[in-house]
């Protein structure tokens, strides 16, 4: 088995279809829709938080749950690959008589060995993510969705493909698992408002795991880069890029115009500072503004007279 | 109530534990180091394979089993300093070159249509070898002086049996034709041959000498 598997090589059964992130967001059934659906015809701001009151709440919640499921599959795969792709620091790469241990001779990550304890955490994350896949499949079934009813994009796994394990932690554990905290909190509230204790119960359990994963990621990021400020900066920059990517169209922010809210309390538990959460909010609000501008431009080109009224 | 000051036997009549054991401290440390290395290689392989198997149920089981073997590796890692090995990495080595080749051959299958080979290597060859090595160790070590290793073995062995059963059932559900059965057998034969050369997870003497 090779080290470093590209995202387009992920193994899937016949039910799965892969599309781009933009296409997924533009799926009219998606709760994360970022087109004109988020604004009134006049471009005025409107609440778009995923709640049972939304007309498209049913499809939106199903689509989001399916997105959670495929995201959990990729998170499982990403954590698993981190167990495999890197050698373990300190552990002999040869036997007592000099034979190379499996995989060591063909590792293109160079000297990017990872501590044994980090690998143990990644293995633990594998188990957690496997449970999350199980939970989200059962919840999808509960909500009346079949596997493959919505398409998948593999951006999450792509963030877990870096040749530097610290960048993987920054992109997946800090940025994407942070997003998962927001998503699960929104879905938990959705379950509460919809009178669905089953959904609320399961989301709360997954939320507990995600807080752990974010904390795990940020702790390792700090520890591994303790004496390497350049590497730490690179990792934090990558985290910001991933955060921005997943804020496309203002998907999550404090604004009710975003389908997903920012779970400030749980993010604080995971170790995010207020400034860090504020930065994510700023990125997303900026993306919201860009979305409004795109909507206004689209309306203006369709009907130049209406452009002046926005 | 009986007089609390009356002399009682230090070992209750039902406590039949004995002092003698097959392994001294050094032997035990060497074996535990081999166990740690083998469990590490297993959890790394299981983690790596998750992304390469299309079968969703198998994908999830591999993810779950990956953690269990990582935890076993951690238990052995923690046991080593208690066996006077203050640098646990020093003994976390393969028993011999054949064990290295075994892991190389075990982890060779990658393609999405090779799930049968992946599972055969783990659940029909590697894990039965863990069960055998751990059972021999459990039955042979001193019940009093090596109680901490016994405790770890008793925590680990049920995991190995559970995973073996899971893996065997997955294999039985995946193997639908005589050709697929032959594929599994051929891969098993190949890996068993290397394992025989290795003498087991802890090398020759893994199961004592006959």
Positive or negative torsion for Cα A109, A271, A49, A135: positive
- Amino acid A310: pLDDT: 43
Domain-embedded: residue A101:
no
Judged by CB atoms within 8 Å, which residues 6-25 of A form the interface with B? 9-13
What digits encode the pLDDT tens for the residues A228-240? Answer: 999 999 999 999 9
Whether residue A100 lies within 8 A of chain B, CB to CB, comes out as yes
Domain-embedded: residue A34:
no
The answer, yes or no, to whether residue A105 has pLDDT greater than 50, is no
Contact (CB, 8 A) for A120 and B70: yes
Q: CATH number of the domain at A187, please.
A: 1.10.620
Q: Which of B30, B35, B39, B44 to mutate to test the interface with A (most CBs of A within 10 A)?
A: B44
- The whole-angstrom distance between A147's CA and the closest CA on chain B is 10
Q: Least CB-CB distance to B104: which of A10, A91, A102? A: A102
Domain-embedded: residue A285:
yes
Q: Kindly determine whether residue B59 and residue A73, on different chains, have CB atoms separated by under 8 Å.
A: yes
Domain-embedded: residue A11:
no
What digits encode the pLDDT tens for the residues A109-168? Answer: 556 889 999 999 999 999 999 999 999 999 999 999 999 999 898 988 998 889 999 999
- Amino acid A27: pLDDT: 66
CA distance B196 to B201: 10
CA distance A300 to B18: 89
- The whole-angstrom distance between B58's CA and the closest CA on chain A is 10
What digits encode the pLDDT tens for the residues A161-214? Answer: 899 999 999 999 999 999 999 999 999 999 999 999 999 999 999 999 999 999
CA distance B161 to B173: 18
Cα B155 to chain centroid distance, Å, stands at 12
- Amino acid A102: pLDDT: 45
The DSSP secondary structure of A165-229, one letter per residue, reads: HHHHIIIIIIIIHHHHHHHHHHHHHHHHHTT-HHHHHHHHHHHHHHHHHHHHHHHHHHHHTTT-H
Q: Kindly determine whether residue B56 and residue A130, on different chains, have CB atoms separated by under 8 Å.
A: no
- Amino acid A100: pLDDT: 47
- Amino acid A232: pLDDT: 94
Computed on alpha carbons and rounded to an integer, the radius of gyration of chain A in Å comes to 21
Q: Kindly determine whether residue A80 and residue B110, on different chains, have CB atoms separated by under 8 Å.
A: no
Domain-embedded: residue A35:
no
Domain-embedded: residue A228:
yes
Q: Which of B91, B111, B84, B5 is nearest to B40 (CA)?
A: B91
Ordered structural domains, chain B, with CATH? 25-198 (1.20.1260.10)
The answer, yes or no, to whether residue A296 has pLDDT greater than 80, is no
The model's confidence at residue A308, banded by pLDDT at 50, 70 and 90, is: low
- Amino acid A51: pLDDT: 86
Domain-embedded: residue A62:
yes
Q: Which residues make beta-bridge pairs with A206?
A: none
Whether residue A79 lies within 8 A of chain B, CB to CB, comes out as yes
Six-digit token string for B78: 């923690």
Whether residue B45 lies within 8 A of chain A, CB to CB, comes out as yes
Six-digit token string for A299: 């309306």
- Amino acid A246: pLDDT: 82
What digits encode the pLDDT tens for the residues A17-65? Answer: 887 766 766 666 666 654 444 444 444 556 778 888 888 888 889 999 9
Whether residue B51 lies within 8 A of chain A, CB to CB, comes out as yes
Cα angle at A198 between A192 and A201, to 5 degrees? 70
**Chain A residues in contact with B62 (beta carbon < 8 A):** 80
Q: What is the ipTM of this complex?
A: 0.95
Q: Kindly determine whether residue B49 and residue A147, on different chains, have CB atoms separated by under 8 Å.
A: no
Q: Kindly determine whether residue B96 and residue A96, on different chains, have CB atoms separated by under 8 Å.
A: yes
Q: How many domains does chain A have?
A: 1
Q: Least CB-CB distance to A10: which of B51, B60, B106? A: B51
Q: Domain range holding A231?
A: 48-91+108-292
Q: Least CB-CB distance to B93: which of A1, A77, A92? A: A92
Q: What is the pLDDT along chain B (210 residues), one digit of tens a residue?
A: 789 999 999 999 999 999 999 999 999 999 999 999 999 999 999 999 999 999 999 999 999 999 999 999 999 999 999 999 888 888 999 999 999 999 999 999 999 999 999 999 999 999 999 999 999 999 999 999 999 999 999 999 999 999 999 999 999 999 999 999 999 999 999 999 999 999 999 999 999 976
- Amino acid A25: pLDDT: 65
- For the residues A265-290, what does the mean pLDDT come to? 88
Domain-embedded: residue A96:
no
Half-sphere exposure at residue B161, Cβ-oriented, CA atoms within 13 angstroms? 8
Computed on alpha carbons and rounded to an integer, the radius of gyration of chain B in Å comes to 20
């Amino acid at each position: 088995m090779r080290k470093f598997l590209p995202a387009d090589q992920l193994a899937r059964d016949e039910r799965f279809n892969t599309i781009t992130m933009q296409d997924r967001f533009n799926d009219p059934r998606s709760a994360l829709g970022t087109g004109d659906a988020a604004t009134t015809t006049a471009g005025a701001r409107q609440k778009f938080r995923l709640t049972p009151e939304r007309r498209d709440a049913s499809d939106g919640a199903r689509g989001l749950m399916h997105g959670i499921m495929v995201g959990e599959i990729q998170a499982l795969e990403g954590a698993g690959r981190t167990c495999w792709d890197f050698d373990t620091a300190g552990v002999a790469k040869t036997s007592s008589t000099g034979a190379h241990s499996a995989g060591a001779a063909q590792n293109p990550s160079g000297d990017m060995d990872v501590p044994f304890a980090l690998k143990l955490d990644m293995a633990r994350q594998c188990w957690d993510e496997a449970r999350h896949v199980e939970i989200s499949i059962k919840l999808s079934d509960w909500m009346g969705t079949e596997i493959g009813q919505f398409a998948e994009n593999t951006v999450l796994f792509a963030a877990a493909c870096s040749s530097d394990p610290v960048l993987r932690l920054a992109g997946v554990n800090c940025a994407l698992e942070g997003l998962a905290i927001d998503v699960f909190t929104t879905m938990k509230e959705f379950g509460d408002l919809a009178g669905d204790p089953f959904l609320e119960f399961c989301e709360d359990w997954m939320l507990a795991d995600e807080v752990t994963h974010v904390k795990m990621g940020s702790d390792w990021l700090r520890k591994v880069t303790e004496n390497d400020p350049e590497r730490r900066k690179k990792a934090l920059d990558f985290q910001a890029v991933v955060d921005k990517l997943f804020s496309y169209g203002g998907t999550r922010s404090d604004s009710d115009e975003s389908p997903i809210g920012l779970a400030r309390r749980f993010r604080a538990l995971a170790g995010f500072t207020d400034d860090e959460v504020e930065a994510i909010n700023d990125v997303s609000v900026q993306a919201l503004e860009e979305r409004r501008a795109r909507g206004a431009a689209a309306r203006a080109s369709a009907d130049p007279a209406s452009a002046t009224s926005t | 109530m009986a007089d609390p000051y009356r002399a009682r036997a230090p070992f209750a009549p039902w406590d039949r534990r004995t002092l003698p054991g097959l392994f001294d401290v050094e032997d035990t440390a060497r074996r535990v180091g081999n166990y740690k290395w083998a469990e590490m290689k297993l959890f790394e392989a299981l983690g790596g394979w998750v992304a390469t198997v299309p079968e969703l149920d198998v994908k999830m089981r591999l993810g779950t089993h990956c953690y269990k073997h990582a935890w076993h590796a951690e238990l052995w890692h923690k046991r080593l300093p208690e066996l006077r090995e203050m640098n646990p990495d020093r003994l976390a080595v393969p028993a011999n070159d054949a064990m290295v080749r075994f892991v190389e051959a075990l982890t060779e299958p990658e393609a999405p249509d090779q799930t049968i080979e992946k599972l055969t290597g783990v659940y029909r060859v590697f894990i039965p070898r863990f069960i055998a090595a751990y059972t021999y160790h459990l039955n042979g070590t001193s019940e009093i002086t090596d109680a901490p290793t016994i405790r770890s073995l008793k925590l680990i062995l049920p995991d190995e049996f559970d995973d073996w059963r899971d893996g065997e059932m997955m294999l039985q559900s995946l193997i639908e034709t005589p050709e697929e059965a032959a594929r599994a057998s051929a891969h098993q034969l190949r890996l068993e041959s290397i394992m025989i050369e290795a003498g087991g997870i802890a090398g020759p003497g893994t199961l004592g000498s006959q």
